[in-house]
Amino acid sequence: KQEVTQIPAALSVPEGENLVLNCSFTDSAIYNLQWFRQDPGKGLTSLLLIQSSQREQTSGRLNASLDKSSGRSTLYIAASQPGDSATYLCAVILFGGATNKLIFGTGTLLAVQP
């Protein structure tokens, strides 16, 4: 059974700091991995989608990497801002299963202090 774990569960950093969020998955046979952010009481916003054949994706201050062999992904946020405060979730789609069934991680609650 695929398990997706995110470390740390919570993180507080001062504004301007660069930070890394981690995502680990037990089954490396995945179609893709997606990073989302969720603001309190709201839906999910897609940040980055990495296909299984790719090693990283970048969007603005965000960079996500994927290492299928080790079952790990990292989300790098450069020059963090208070507006980055949210819960960050990673999710994988398992190869051989439903092509769009997302299996979510446990989430990292990020607080960026002004």
Partner 1 sequence: KAGVTQTPRYLIKTRGQQVTLSCSPISGHRSVSWYQQTPGQGLQFLFEYFSETQRNKGNFPGRFSGRQFSNSRSEMNVSTLELGDSALYLCASSIAGGSRETQYFGPGTRLLVL
For residue 112, give the nearest of 87, 84, 89, 88 by alpha carbon: 84
Query: Three-state DSSP class for 84?
Result: helix
Q: Which of residues 81-100 bind partner 1 (CB under 8 A)?
A: 89, 91, 93, 98-100
The answer to whether residue 110 forms part of the interface with partner 1 (CB under 8 A) is: no
The answer to whether residue 46 forms part of the interface with partner 1 (CB under 8 A) is: yes
The answer to whether residue 60 forms part of the interface with partner 1 (CB under 8 A) is: no
Give the residues across from 50 on adjacent strands: 33
The answer to whether residues 89 and 44 touch, using CB atoms and an 8 Å cutoff, is yes
The answer to whether residue 58 forms part of the interface with partner 1 (CB under 8 A) is: no
One of 33, 66, 68, 107 touching partner 1 (CB under 8 A): 107
Q: Cα(33)–Cα(94) distance, rounded to whole angstroms?
A: 9
Q: Which stretch binds partner 1 (CB under 8 A): 8-16, 18-26, 33-41, 71-79?
A: 33-41
H or E element at residue 63: strand 62-67
Q: Can you give the binding site for partner 1, defined by CB under 8 A?
A: 31-32, 34, 36, 41-46, 49, 51, 89, 91, 93, 98-107
